[in-house]
Amino acid sequence: MTRSVGLNELRAAMSGAVVDSTSPDYDDVRRVWNADHDRRPAVIARCASPDDVVAALSYAREHGLEIAVRGGAHSFPGMSTVDDGLVIDLSPLNQVRVDPAARRAVVGGGALLADLNAATQEHGLAVPTGIVSHTGVGGLTLGGGMGWLTRLGGLTSDNLVSAQVVTADGRVLRVTEEANPELFWALRGGGGNFGVVTEFEFRLHEVGPLIQFGLLFWGPEQGADVLRLAQRLNESLPRSLYVMPGGVHAPPEDFVPEQYRLQPGFVLMIAGYGGEQEHADLVARVREELPPLFAFVTPMPYVALQQLFDEASAWGQYNYEKSLYLEEITEDAISVITEMMPGKRSPLSLMLLYRLDEAYSEVGETATAFGGGRGTRYAMFILGVCPTPELLVADRAWAREFFAAMRPLSMGGATYINALAVDDDQDRMRASYGDAKLERLARIKGRYDPGNIFHHNVNIKPL
């Protein structure tokens, strides 16, 4: 059968659209978030149901096509697209149903955080997720999912209650603690290795709709003091508050006094979910201990907090990321960070430290497949975010150099698997999961995808 005859059959079998290089929207549809990955798939199957996924898998098998699965297309290393292969694009599966009484949300496998936030916040509820609302729920959840609410409610994957999965052999499975429990364990941290998740069901937490936010900014010469203060604050912070330190350029926004726009420096971003006074007291303490150059403090909808970085991390830029876990912000770490930050070239490139403790640490080390111990730590992200490929060359080198200097201070090579770089080695994946978890994952992979057809991911080889 020639591919085009087959494509017509696939088109007839699917309720969603099938796009190939002859389609007028091909160039639009094949784009992924990171412009550094300009790939040309043979077929993009825009799946609108589990049956569409089954049909697309069967077509790929018949035609010997490589498969990439795409949720929100936000993989930094471009894992959700593939040259000459078939992309299972889940973006039509973006519906969210909320049951406020049961505190549950059922979310399509291709939904974005924005879809989830909008639907749950109508009821003052939320799933802890990431901090950019155009990220996909799919990839984020399967690798873990961390952000503003991690201390309050754990990882996104810790809040997963059930999933619907299309397996490599075309079965549609319901997966819970009771039904297919090994697969359920693997989905919570093992990435996209085990099948195509067409639906996620999450537990919900009471958050917002209005939360408190503060962004306080200091110049580069005060970086060490800012980082020391962040460490001190985080040592005794209630889970209703979140303090995220970062190295950034001040954005060219109205809330930034003109003389500081696009100036490099350090920030503390302070979110509060427990009421105005608690947040105001913390901000006052910070102002007193270390007066900032400027501060932007305001109540805002939780949905707006989730959109705060949307524009700075817009589609179409050139991006590169390195990450690691830090047990605490030590003096040695502070020396490296303050020395390395001035080396970035793009004003949008940045460094962020996500604090992980409280609810995150209450989940057992082996309760889920998540790659990273549950002890108190920071996930450190060094992000090259560049408007042009030329700047990316410079800031990729910066991120690598920064990472190399931090690595001896990090927790044994382990990292957040959703932030593994394209040039990171298998050793880092092993260090992140640990031998026992990786072996268990490999056995589950062997059971559900023995031929490793789902390998455009942080790949676990089947045992």
> In terms of CB distance, is 197 or 334 closer to ligand FAD?
197
- State how far the Cα of 252 lies from the Cα of 361, in Å rounded to an integer: 37
The packing angle between helices 276-289 and 223-234, to 10°, is 140
> In terms of CB distance, is 121 or 418 closer to ligand FAD?
418
- State how far the Cα of 62 lies from the Cα of 283, in Å rounded to an integer: 60
Q: Smallest gap, in angstroms, from Cβ of residue 113 to ligand FAD? A: 9
Reported as type and span, the H/E element at residue 202 is: strand 196-203
> In terms of CB distance, is 162 or 222 closer to ligand FAD?
162
- State how far the Cα of 84 lies from the Cα of 100, in Å rounded to an integer: 44
Q: Smallest gap, in angstroms, from Cβ of residue 215 to ligand FAD? A: 16
Q: Smallest gap, in angstroms, from Cβ of residue 80 to ligand FAD? A: 3
> In terms of CB distance, is 96 or 334 closer to ligand FAD?
96
In whole angstroms, how far apart are CA 146 and each of 33, 151, 170, 264, 380? 19, 9, 31, 26, 12
Helix (H, G, I), strand (E, B) or coil at 32: coil
Q: What are phi and psi of 416, to 5 degrees?
A: -75, 120
Binding-site ranges for ligand FAD (CB under 6 A): 33, 69-76, 79-80, 90, 109, 130-132, 135-136, 138-140, 142-147, 192, 196-197, 313, 418, 456-457
Q: Smallest gap, in angstroms, from Cβ of residue 208 to ligand FAD? A: 17
Of 90, 98, 123, 104, the residue nearest 209 (C-alpha): 123
Contacts of 449 (CB under 8 A, 6+ apart): 167, 168, 193, 194, 195, 462
C-alpha dihedral sign at 370, 167, 81, 109: negative
Q: Smallest gap, in angstroms, from Cβ of residue 224 to ligand FAD? A: 25
> In terms of CB distance, is 33 or 398 closer to ligand FAD?
33
Q: Smallest gap, in angstroms, from Cβ of residue 197 to ligand FAD? A: 4
> In terms of CB distance, is 190 or 292 closer to ligand FAD?
190
> In terms of CB distance, is 208 or 371 closer to ligand FAD?
371
DSSP strands (E only) in 90-195: 96-99, 104-108, 125-126, 160-166, 172-175
Q: Smallest gap, in angstroms, from Cβ of residue 431 to ligand FAD? A: 18
Q: Smallest gap, in angstroms, from Cβ of residue 335 to ligand FAD? A: 26
> In terms of CB distance, is 70 or 104 closer to ligand FAD?
70
Q: Which residues pair with 384 in a beta bridge?
A: 320
